[in-house]
């Protein structure tokens, strides 16, 4: 290696903290175990209400969605009642920290950091979506000519694009094996660019853990209602396979770096069973009388869309319940049907007419629901005035939601309700949901109710069996970092300003705070660059 890398960042996207610690302790993940022994570790946490849709954007910028303008893969178009696909590259309202490092003369490599904007004229290199879970813009590189070299030397990642699918045993094995091959190739790719040397900041993120967690939680988790022992017997534990493969890949990467390179490991948010009542949120708002039902527009809805809306959930539900030998025979038909259903315009039609409602649902992923108040002067046909009227409505909705229980367990289905404006501030605050519903996620949801809404029934039949949790894990090892364990959580917001400060660069705007055990542990405490 020509000259050493100063800081090597390794991301473990959507890696469940408890599983990582469990398998590190058992010796199945020896690389993480070694880092835990040698470095400083502690819990990290995502942003309240937005720990899915903003994890990597907030990591990259140190800013909340009220300043980046991004909170979810699908967002409400301001000034309308319509949602749009929020492509990060086209909608970023802030710069990632590596842009500031680059302009300060630091040499950076940014490889597959999910949902990253394209950094033109970077002092270094960038790979976007060579092997990322969140595929939006397709594979791009900075400089552009680098793409040809990467493909010629390493090929394409074995799995790219949307990983959601209804699978049988053979498909799960193929899926798992493709992720394992991608991890091994990513290790070789990482080592290739690390060996060029002279990097001040080198970032690589393994997102295969994200894919496997969504798709295979029910195979790993024997208590999951979709779990089939015969699947687990043939497949094994695909989540453990992928986690251990990432651990091996990191071990190969770390074996090639200098001993005095600082290593930062981050699993920014976790994974667990997908238990929530988000799929019933529109029914809840209608039952509470705060939302008006959508108008019948049969003439504007194509027969394909109507049939698709009915078939989409039924296809996954029925496929999982068919015997294995029947699935094998029907696989060609199933693939054709899945392709047809997953064609254009697959977002289900809303049950609510937002213009006629006091509030309505906005997309905010599944563990945390989003509600938008139909505010006069902000929405095209706003019904609720800011001030006491809006406050009273929000308080009533929050109380009514907190009264909902899972009728099969007797436990609340809502953990807490957050008011976005009480937590976040920034120029894009009004682009965000007004209320955030943190579902409890304790048990499967089939029946919920309260005295006010009565009983509501349903089942989330989409193919994902795992979904995100806000807690994560970080480890930092370096010559100036004292080993140990932090007894406090650090926010995902804290890494951008901290990693920048470790290289003597201060970000001009940040919501995150410095992690003093990292940023102030070396001699760089007096070498921060002036504000830009």
For residue range 421-444, what is the model confidence (pLDDT) as tens digits? 999 999 999 999 999 999 999 999
Sign of the torsion formed by the C-alpha atoms of 390, 396, 399 and 402 = negative
**Same-domain check for residues 383 and 444:** yes
In the chain, the number of structural domains is: 3
Structure tokens at 436: 């955030």
Alpha carbon 238 to chain centroid, angstroms: 20
- What is the pLDDT at residue 340? 56
Q: What is the pLDDT of residues 460-500, one digit of tens each?
A: 989 999 999 999 999 999 999 999 999 999 999 999 999 99
Residues 248 and 286 grouped into a single domain: no
Q: What is the pLDDT of residue 1?
A: 41
Residue 312 has pLDDT above 70, yes or no: no
pLDDT over 60 at 343, yes or no = no
91 versus 35: the higher-pLDDT residue is: 35
Q: Is residue 338 included in any domain, yes or no? A: yes
Q: In this predicted structure, what is the pLDDT of residue 300?
A: 46
Place 341 in a pLDDT band, splitting at 50, 70 and 90: low
Average pLDDT for residues 244-273, to the nearest whole number?
96
Q: Does 1 reside within a domain?
A: no
**305: confidence class by pLDDT, cuts 50, 70, 90:** very low
Peptide bond into 143 cis (omega under 30): yes
8 Å CB contact between 235 and 169: yes
- Give the pairing of strands 435-439 and 83-85: unpaired
Q: How would residue 531 be classed by pLDDT, with cut points 50, 70 and 90?
A: very low
> 258 and 133 in one domain?
yes
Tell me which of 429, 459, 489 is where a domain ends.
459
Instruction: Work out the end-to-end distance of the chain between its first and last CA atoms, rounded to an integer number of angstroms.
Output: 33
Cβ atoms of residues 96 and 90 within 8 Å: no
Q: Are residues 82 and 162 in the same domain?
A: yes
Q: Answer yes or no: do 154 and 266 share one domain.
A: yes
Note whether residue 532 is domain-resident.
no
Q: Give the domain range for residue 318.
A: 297-348
The H or E element spanning position 447 is strand 447-450
Domain of 91: which CATH number? 3.40.720.10
pLDDT at 127: 96
Predicted confidence band of residue 137 (pLDDT cuts 50, 70, 90):
confident
Answer whether 46's CB lies under 8 Å from 26's CB: no
Single pTM value for the model: 0.89
Residue 531 lies inside a defined structural domain of this protein: no
Q: Among residues 21, 10, 23, 467, which one has the least CA distance to residue 237?
A: 23
Query: Do residues 270 and 156 both lie within one domain?
Result: yes
Q: Is residue 256 part of a domain?
A: yes
pLDDT band at 529 (very low <50, low <70, confident <90, very high): very low
Q: What percent of the chain has pLDDT over 70?
A: 88
Report whether pLDDT(69) > 50. Answer: yes
Q: Do 354 and 339 share a structural domain? A: no
pLDDT number for residue 322? 66
**pLDDT tens, residue by residue, 7-55:** 999 999 999 999 999 999 999 999 999 999 999 999 999 999 999 999 9
Indicate whether 199 and 321 sit together in one domain: no
Largest CA distance in the chain: 70
Q: Do 78 and 58 share a structural domain?
A: yes
| 287 and 401 Cβ atoms separated by less than 8 Å | no
Name residue, tokens 């992690």: 515
């Amino acid at each position: 290696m020509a000259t050493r890398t100063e800081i090597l960042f390794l991301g473990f996207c959507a890696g469940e903290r408890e599983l990582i610690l469990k398998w590190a302790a058992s010796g199945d993940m020896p690389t993480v175990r070694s880092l835990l022994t040698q470095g400083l570790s502690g819990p990290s946490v995502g942003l309240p209400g937005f720990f899915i849709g903003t994890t990597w954007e907030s990591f990259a910028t140190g800013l909340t969605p009220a300043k980046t303008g991004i909170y979810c893969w699908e967002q409400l178009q301001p000034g309308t009642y319509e949602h749009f696909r929020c492509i990060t590259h086209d909608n970023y309202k802030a710069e990632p920290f590596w842009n500031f490092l680059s302009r300060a003369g630091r040499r950076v490599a940014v490889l597959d950091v999910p949902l990253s904007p394209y950094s033109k004229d970077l002092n270094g290199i960038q790979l976007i979506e060579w092997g990322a879970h969140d595929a939006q813009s397709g594979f791009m590189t900075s400089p552009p000519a680098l793409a040809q070299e990467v493909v010629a030397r390493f090929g394409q990642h074995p799995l790219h694009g949307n990983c959601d699918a209804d699978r049988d045993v053979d498909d799960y094995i193929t899926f798992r094996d493709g992720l394992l091959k991608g991890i091994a190739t990513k290790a070789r790719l990482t080592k290739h660019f690390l060996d060029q040397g002279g990097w001040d900041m080198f970032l690589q993120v393994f997102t295969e853990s994200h894919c496997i967690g969504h798709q295979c939680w029910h195979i790993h988790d024997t208590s999951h209602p979709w779990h089939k022992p015969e699947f687990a017997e043939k497949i094994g534990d695909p989540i453990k396979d992928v986690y251990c493969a990432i651990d091996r890949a990191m071990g190969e990467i770390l074996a090639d770096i200098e001993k005095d390179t600082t290593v930062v490991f981050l699993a920014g948010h976790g994974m667990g069973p997908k238990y929530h009542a988000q799929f019933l949120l529109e029914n809840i708002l209608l039952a509470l009388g705060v939302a008006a039902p959508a108008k019948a527009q049969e003439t504007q809805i194509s027969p394909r869309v109507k049939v698709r809306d009915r078939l989409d959930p039924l296809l996954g539900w029925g496929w999982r319940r068919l015997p294995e030998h029947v699935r094998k025979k029907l696989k060609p038909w199933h693939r054709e049907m899945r392709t047809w259903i997953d064609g254009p315009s697959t977002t289900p039609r809303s049950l609510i007419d937002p213009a006629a409602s006091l509030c309505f649902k906005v997309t905010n992923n599944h563990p945390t629901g989003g509600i938008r108040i139909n505010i006069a002067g902000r929405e095209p046909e706003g019904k609720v005035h800011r001030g006491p009227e809006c406050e009273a409505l929000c308080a009533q909705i929050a109380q009514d939601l907190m009264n909902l229980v899972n009728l099969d367990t007797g436990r609340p289905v809502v953990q807490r309700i957050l008011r976005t404006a009480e937590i976040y501030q920034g120029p894009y605050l009004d682009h965000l949901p007004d209320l955030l519903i943190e579902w409890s996620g304790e048990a499967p949801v089939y029946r919920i109710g309260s005295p006010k809404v009565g009983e509501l029934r349903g089942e989330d039949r989409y193919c994902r069996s795992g979904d995100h949790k806000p807690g994560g894990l970080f480890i930092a090892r370096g010559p100036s970092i004292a080993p140990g364990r932090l007894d406090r959580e650090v926010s995902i917001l804290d890494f951008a300003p901290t990693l920048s400060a470790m290289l003597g660069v201060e970000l001009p705007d940040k919501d995150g705070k410095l992690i003093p055990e990292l940023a102030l542990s070396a001699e760089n405490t007096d070498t921060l660059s002036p504000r830009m």
